[in-house]
Structure 1
């Protein structure tokens, strides 16, 4: 197992891939067995995929857009055209990637994509150690259900919802076969060394909680039989505004005031899975970036800039400790909404991760939804979350 990470600030596809190829040492090492290529939407996804196939040459090519850019050992690049790569050479392991449009049935599309990825890896019918996932925002829960139907409920599924710079829908996903705007890329990883992953948030519950009494999909109508927007405005002491006569985007205001559901209890301590309020409607309904269900108990969560800055380093520290061995590389998922909320302090976030990972090659992406496995639980989709997945450098 050998891992390298690379970044480019070139700002264009050809120059960026030339930088990536040079840093990865492809002329000496040859094509990696797996490469995750993440990028800001200032780079054209179709052009990037076409050239990456030629320049990098990896059959298991996994591409996804990231809000404003990426981060890694060279620092934070959120100028709008950043490009980063995370490459694995592992002759003893197996890797496969496939992609698909979500279509009318995202569950079925996920089943098809993961089955094709397993076939490409030469491991049909087997259960991978890890699935690295990039999916368009909107139907992540359905995608996870489809993946679990094929690989089981215990398989580690980690990744993030592809993002753009302003929630205008310019996000992109690509695999070896195609580029998508409303699709998914599924990579199955059977590494020859151990893997550990930690999935957390930087938020704490307040005293305010209630029951979902009206919901349809991701549109929350009522909490405790009251208009959801009115309740959120009250619980946040006015920080989360209500709509007037037109729908109102509240992503920025609600970033420090999301909703949380208890997904798991660990040693008596609740783990809250977060849902980010996105749009307030004149009728009092609120659109979320994750689904809640009728009868769910939900809490008003609260975070601070300090908690969001510090949490990434703590997550990396816990992942390192859980691996209990030397690390060959790490993939970090940091919510794009959190990044935008602490944009002027992202060098501190990066430094916190670096302090825990040391000289380890790593790549961080900024997403509009995060997938991971809470302690003692199966894979989940949440918002405003952070994950760190580390790969061991030696056989178990």
Structure 2
């Protein structure tokens, strides 16, 4: 297996792909067996997809908040940087497919998974790894659709597509189509091992309650009280209430997510995080993840220091589980976390590069993170960080 990454800030997608092809040395190495492109939403996705499709049959594309990062540094200055992650692995198998989510997100993900397996020439088999890029909003349904093909214990990792300003300008593309509300599924059968770490940089404050009323991603009551009032109190008033209409609380809530314990890892509780987005006059909160009645919810607290340090710790953990040094890695870093510590993201890049021993890696900034930790099942969370490292 060989892995290489590249960046381009070229304004035109054709020029950007020429830069990337040259940096990846495709003329010498041949077309990659797998090619992932993640990029700022200022890049026209349809044109980029058309320019990229000749370079790999297993093509996976999705927008990333503001841009990307890699061992070459941070690419978020213009909102239009493009990052490429390429694998050459003749002994492995790789396939990608995309679908519009439509009315049934689970069915769309199921069909995309079947198409990706067929493209890899591994129909009917369970892939060791699924790399996922869904549109934000129905990620739990997407995961369910993938699992209907791969089984409940499949290793699924990825990040929801994002835009530069939370206005819905995200996009996804596969080998044959581009979407605004779709999903890209890639199945990876690498010839070497890989390891995954999936964590959040937050700790519980001790405040906790039971979800007593919820509608999808609208949290209405905690302990039979208006959710926004409970949350406002738990954060000591840091996150405001709605006053004269719906109020965006995305920035204020970034360091104050809500968490659920989904499993224990070595005796330590693993909290899956949800990012509150909007407070409403009726006392409800809009979230970026699903809750259910009966869930115990915990108030979590983070800091800029914890968000900066966690990324390298996640990479260290992934590498520790590899049987050989890393050949390369894919990193997912929550877009909300990136915006909260934007002035320190060069430090984040340096920490990941050091943790990976200089191996090539590509990082994207997502509006939702999919992954698994400590032998549990794959899940969707917010304000999370993951590293998927491939062995040489």
Same fold (TM over 0.5): yes
User: Is 1:40 aligned with 2:40?
Assistant: yes
Aligned to 1:277: 276
Between 1:252-261 and 1:316-325, the stretch displaced more is: 316-325
1:73-88 aligned at under 5 Å gives the runs 73-79=71-77, 80-88=79-87
Between 1:299-308 and 1:9-18, the stretch displaced more is: 9-18
1:328-367 aligned at under 5 Å gives the runs 328-367=327-366
1:38 touches 1:70 (CA, 8 Å); kept in 2?
yes
C-alpha displacement at 1:166, in angstroms?
1.1
Aligned to 1:172: 171
C-alpha distance in structure 2 between counterparts of 1:357 and 1:269, whole Å: 25
C-alpha displacement at 1:12, in angstroms?
2.8
C-alpha distance in structure 1 between counterparts of 2:358 and 2:254, whole Å: 32
C-alpha displacement at 1:185, in angstroms?
0.2
Aligned to 1:17: 17
**3-state SS in 1 of match to 2:314:** helix
Aligned to 2:121: 122
C-alpha displacement at 1:10, in angstroms?
2.1
2:193 touches 2:323 (CA, 8 Å); kept in 1?
no
Aligned to 1:2: 2
C-alpha distance in structure 1 between counterparts of 2:183 and 2:265, whole Å: 31
C-alpha distance in structure 1 between counterparts of 2:285 and 2:355, whole Å: 38
Output the TM-score relative to the length of structure 1: 0.98
User: Is 1:382 aligned with 2:384?
Assistant: no
Give the gaps of 5 or more residues in structure 1.
none
User: Is 1:231 aligned with 2:230?
Assistant: yes
**3-state SS in 2 of match to 1:50:** helix
1:158-169 aligned at under 5 Å gives the runs 158-169=157-168
Aligned to 1:108: 107
1:40 touches 1:82 (CA, 8 Å); kept in 2?
yes
C-alpha displacement at 1:177, in angstroms?
1.0
C-alpha distance in structure 1 between counterparts of 2:165 and 2:43, whole Å: 15
Aligned to 1:71: 69
C-alpha displacement at 1:215, in angstroms?
0.2
Give the gaps of 5 or more residues in structure 2.
none
**3-state SS in 2 of match to 1:92:** coil
Count of aligned residue pairs for this structure pair: 391
Aligned to 2:200: 201
1:214 touches 1:223 (CA, 8 Å); kept in 2?
yes
C-alpha displacement at 1:267, in angstroms?
2.4
C-alpha distance in structure 1 between counterparts of 2:375 and 2:205, whole Å: 24
* C-alpha RMSD of matched pairs (Å): 0.7
**3-state SS in 2 of match to 1:323:** coil
Q: CA offsets per residue over residues 372-396 of structure 1, 9 Å max, x none?
A: 0121201000000000001111xxx
C-alpha distance in structure 2 between counterparts of 1:374 and 1:145, whole Å: 17
C-alpha distance in structure 1 between counterparts of 2:96 and 2:199, whole Å: 26
Aligned to 1:29: 29
Output the TM-score relative to the length of structure 2: 0.99
1:12 touches 1:81 (CA, 8 Å); kept in 2?
no
C-alpha distance in structure 2 between counterparts of 1:325 and 1:358, whole Å: 12
Of residues 59, 62, 69, the one that matches 1:61 is 59
